[in-house]
Structure 1
Amino acid sequence: MKEYKLEIFADYFQFHLHDEKYNPNFGNAWTEFTTKNLLAITDEGIAVGTRRNMDVKVLIKILDSEPVPKNNNKDSIFQINESDLLIISKKLVVMGCTEYFPEAKRIELENGIYRVRIYYCDLDKISKDELDGDDYYEIEIWKTNNKNIPTYNQLISLHKN
């Protein structure tokens, strides 16, 4: 397992995951449904919604196989979402939506389809003005045998409080 601890500026209440060769446009992917569920998906990437329009902590774990989902009661998890993501350049980009692309974090991965599980943690620990908080976003990524990338309409929300 490899771990990456990041702090990402979640401008417009989001950050993105996508292959380095893609330049996804999430404009039409953000609807009332996706905003409520904190996840927008296009054929080229994933936009993770956040509860703050500030720097947020993001922990990314690259795993060899699918992990057992975390226990909500133990880990202060507000919500869990999953989607698939295609890697074609051997580089996953993790960035805020207004971040300068050449300076964005890159993570080396084999080409293929990956499952991405997002845990939205401690969302109840955000100040009333939404400027400060202990919220964080943990992302587990593992290679799958899936042959098709799901479309926006195949969003899976595993658990919500």
Structure 2
Amino acid sequence: MTIEAQIVLAVFADYFQFFVQDEAANEDFGPLWTDEAVERLIAAGDCSVGIGTVRNMSVPVALTIHADEPEDDFDEWDLVNECSFTVRSGRIAILGCTDALPEAARISLAPGPYRLRVSYSGLDSLSEDGLDGDDFYRLQLWPAPLAGLRTLKEKAGASR
């Protein structure tokens, strides 16, 4: 598995979410956060993805760009989701929903369809007040034809 680029961030997950999006995207996520999307901790639009978190604080996020689909390593993760989105502008931004787009972290990518795998760990590690925890969000991105959202590993005790 060849990693072409990697970025590690602390993203402010205000309202328990952050986004990976084409920098020119302006999608309304209100209708995308269905009950199922909230349960899965992911909502996908055409050119952006909303990633749910278990804390309403800054959370650690690692994004890697791959040439091809990465190998499965689901055992060490609490939850793993995959979805697709399209990069039109040639750059993606990673930001919290109340962050200012001009200050967002960015990565340049060739325009086209991409697959995003989101692996979540430490989902049950929150402090009683919900402010501290060892939750972690790994994002793996690679060029791939558009395909539907799917959960590759469900959380223990998931209601579906």
Superposed pair shares fold, TM > 0.5: yes
Is the 1:18–1:24 contact (alpha carbons within 8 Å) kept by the matching residues of 2?
no
Q: Which residue number in structure 1 is paired with residue 48 of structure 2?
A: 45
Residue 155 of structure 1 corresponds to 149
Q: Secondary structure at the match of 2:78?
A: strand
Unaligned runs of 5+ in 2: none
Aligned to 2:16: 13
Give me the whole-angstrom Cα distance separating, in 1, the residues matched to 2:47 and 2:142. 17
The alpha carbon displacement at 1:68 in A equals 1.0
Q: How many residues align?
A: 152
Measured after TM superposition, the shift of residue 43 of structure 1 is 1.9
Give the Å deviation of 1:112.
1.0
Q: Which residue of 2 aligns with 1:139?
A: 139
TM-score, normalised with respect to structure 2: 0.91
Match of 1:84 in 2: 84
Residue type of the alignment partner of 1:65? D
Structure 1 segments (4+ residues) deviating >6 Å: none
Tell me the amino acid that sits aligned with residue 135 of structure 1.
D
- Residue 61 of structure 2 is aligned to residue 67 of structure 1: no
Indicate the residue corresponding to 1:106 in structure 2.
Answer: 106
1:46-99 superposed Cα distances (whole Å, 9 cap, x missing partner): 100000000000000101111111131xx2x11000001111111011100000
Q: What amino acid does structure 1 have at the position aligned with 2:86?
A: L
8 Å contact 2:15–2:97 — kept in the other structure? Answer: yes
The CA RMSD measured in Å over matched residues stands at 1.1
Matching residue of 1:22: 25
Q: Which amino acid aligns with 1:128?
A: E
Give aligned-pair identity as a percent: 38
- Give, in whole Å, the separation in 1 of the partners of 2:82 and 2:58: 23
